[in-house]
Structure 1
Amino acid sequence: MKSTKSNKKAEKIKIYCIFTILLVFGVLLMAPFAWMVSVGFDRTANITMPFPPRLIPEVPTLFNYGIVLENGKLIQAYINSAIVTISSVVITVSSSLLAGYAFSKGRFKGKKLLFIIVLGTLMIPMEPRLIPLYKLFNSVDLLNTFWPLILPSVTNGMLIFLCKQFFDQLPDTLREAAQIDGAGEFKIFFRVYFPLAGPIAATMVILAFIWSWNDFLWPLVVLTNQDLHTVPLYLASFSLENGTSLGGLTMALATVSVLPIVVLYLFLQRYIIQSIALSGVKG
C-alpha cells in the first residue's frame, strides 16, 4: 500500500513539474504577442514606444485599430492575400491528398524512386529556387500577377509525406473491398478514403494557410506593383516608411495581419488533435 501511494505521489509530482515547465515556456512564447496587442491599444506609442515594455496601456484606446481598419490599402492587401492564400490552399491540399494516396496505396513502377525525389525537394530551400522560378515566370510574362504565388504550391513535399503517412495507417482491405465491387481508383479515393482524411486535411489547411499568408520573400521578388501587395508586404512597407514612429499603428496592423491565422487555428484545432490520434491506427 505504501509503495502504491508513493508511486501515485511521485506521478503527481512529475505531472505538476511537467505542467509548470510547459506553462513557463508557454508564457515566454506568448509574451511578445501579448505585448504586440497591448501596444496596439496604446495611442502614445505612436510618439514613442513605452519603455520599459508594459502589458497594460495607461490609457487603452481603439484609436489605432480604428485607423488600421479604415485604411483602404490594408483592405486591398487583405483581398490580395485572401485570393492567393485560398487558391494556394485548395491546390496544395488537393494535390497532396491525391499524391499521398497514390504513394501509399498505388502500385506502379518507380514509386519508391519518385517518392525519394519528392522527399529530396524538402532539402532544397527557397533561396536557390528564386532565380530559376523568376526566369520561368518572366519567360511566360506572369510577373506582377498572382500566378507565381499560386502555381508553385501544386507540389509540396512535406504535405505529400504527411498524407502518405496518414493513408499508410488506413487498412488496405477498404481498397480491396471497393475493387471487388468494381470501383476505380478515383472512385475508391473519393468514396472510401477521402471521407476518412478530414483530420489530416484540416492539418494541411492550417499549414498551407500559414505558409501562404506569411510568405514574404517570394512575393517581394515577383510583385513590384503595390496594388498587388499582400499583407506581409504592406506591413513591411508601412514599417519602412514610418521607421520607429507610429509604433502603435504598426503593432495594431501586425495584430490584424495575424488574426486570420489565429481564427483558423481555433476553428480547426480539434481536427489536428484527431489527426495526431489517428496516426496510431493500424490496418
Structure 2
Amino acid sequence: MNQNSIDKMTEIIKFVLLLVFGILLMMPFIWMVSVGFDRTANITMPFPPRLIPEEVASFNYGIVFENGRLIQSYINSGIVTVFSVSLQVGASLLAGYAFSKGDFKFKRLLFILVLCTLMIPMEPRLIPLYTLFNSFNLLNTFWPLILPTVINGLLIFLCKQFFDQLPTTLREAAQIDGASEFRIFFKVYLPLAGPIAATMVILSFIWSWNDFMWPLVVLNNQELHTVPLYLASFSLENGTSLGGLTMALATVSILPIVVLYLFLQRYIIQSIALSGGVKGGNKWVIR
C-alpha cells in the first residue's frame, strides 16, 4: 500500500469519525425538534425516546407562534440583546486596539486587571450589582441587563490578540499622513477586524440571549421577561405535561442563535484560521 492510499484511508477514517461524533452531538437537538412535532407528547412523553414521531403534526408550533407572551419575551430579548451586543462588541474592539497598538501609562497593569475579571464568576457579583441598580431605581428595567455586559474581559483579550497580528506599520503610515488615532482605528484597522467582530457578535449574542440567572434577579414584572425566563415559568406552570409544546417553545427560542451562526460562520472560520496561521505561531503575551 503506497503513501497516497494510506493518506486517503486516513482522511476517510477522519471523516467517518467526525460524522459519527457530529451526529451524536446533534441527537439532543434533533430529538427536541422531533418531540415538538409529536402531538401525543403533550399527553405523555414518548419512552423510549424516538427521533421520528408516530403522528407528525405542526399543532405545537402553531400554538407557539400564536402565543402572545412568547412574542413579548422575544421582543424583550431582542431589545436587550441588540443593545448588549452592540455596546459590548464596540467597547471590546476599541479597548483591544488600545491595548494592542496604544502607548499609555499603566497599560500592562490595566490589561492585567481586565484579565483578572475573567476569574470572578457572576455569583459573587449578584448582590453588589443588585444593590447598585436598586440605588438608582433601575430594577425592573432593561438597563441592569445591558450596562454590566459592556466590559467583557474575554472579548477584550480576543481583540487584543487579533490586533497584535496586524502590522503596526499600517498605523505608522497613517500617522505620517496626519490621521488621528480614531481615524486610524475606523479607517485602517476596523475594516480588517471583520472575522474577530463576527466571532464576538455570536459569542455576545449567545451570552445575552441565554442569560437566565441575572434577569431572574432583577426582573419581577412578567411583561419584561426574556425568553429564558418565559420558558422557565412555562415549565414550572405545566410540569411534565405538555412536553411537545415545551419542546416546540425551546426549539423556537434557539432559532435566532442558529440563524445568526449560519450567517456568520464564514467569518468565524476566518478568525480561527487567522489565529492559527500566523507565521511563527500565535504568541499570547501581555505587553
**TM-score bucket (shorter structure):** over 0.9
State the Cα distance separating 1:114 from its structure 2 match. 0.6
* Equivalent AA in structure 2 for residue 265 of structure 1: Y
Measured in 1, the distance between the counterparts of 2:17 and 2:126 equals: 41
Taking structure 2 as the reference length, the TM-score comes to 0.95
State the Cα distance separating 1:25 from its structure 2 match. 1.5
1:229-248 → structure 2 map (5 Å cutoff)? 229-248=225-244
SS in 1 for 2:203: helix
State the Cα distance separating 1:73 from its structure 2 match. 0.2
What residue in structure 1 maps to residue 27 of structure 2?
Answer: 31
Measured in 2, the distance between the counterparts of 1:109 and 1:186 equals: 19
State the Cα distance separating 1:15 from its structure 2 match. 2.0
Measured in 1, the distance between the counterparts of 2:15 and 2:57 equals: 35
What residue in structure 1 maps to residue 259 of structure 2?
Answer: 263
Decide whether the 8 Å contact of 1:170 with 1:282 is kept in 2: no
Structure 1 position 113 matched with structure 2 position 106: no
Decide whether the 8 Å contact of 1:41 with 1:248 is kept in 2: yes
* Equivalent AA in structure 1 for residue 29 of structure 2: F
State the Cα distance separating 1:16 from its structure 2 match. 2.2
What residue in structure 1 maps to residue 283 of structure 2?
Answer: none
The one of 175, 179, 187 equivalent to 2:183 is 187
SS in 2 for 1:193: helix
Structure 1 position 10 matched with structure 2 position 6: yes
Decide whether the 8 Å contact of 1:171 with 1:282 is kept in 2: no
1:186-245 Cα distance to aligned partner (Å, 9 max, x none):
010001001111111111100000000000000000001110000000000000100000
1:45-74 Cα distance to aligned partner (Å, 9 max, x none):
000001111111111111000001000000
State the Cα distance separating 1:281 from its structure 2 match. 4.1
State the Cα distance separating 1:27 from its structure 2 match. 1.1
Taking structure 1 as the reference length, the TM-score comes to 0.96
What residue in structure 1 maps to residue 55 of structure 2?
Answer: 59
Decide whether the 8 Å contact of 1:119 with 1:161 is kept in 2: yes
Structure 1 position 78 matched with structure 2 position 74: yes
In structure 2, the gaps of 5 or more residues are 281-287
SS in 1 for 2:178: coil
1:1-283 → structure 2 map (5 Å cutoff)? 6-279=2-275, 280-281=277-278
What is the aligned-residue RMSD (CA, Å)? Answer: 1.2
Measured in 1, the distance between the counterparts of 2:154 and 2:2 equals: 45
* Equivalent AA in structure 2 for residue 44 of structure 1: T
Count residues with an aligned counterpart: 279
In structure 1, the gaps of 5 or more residues are none
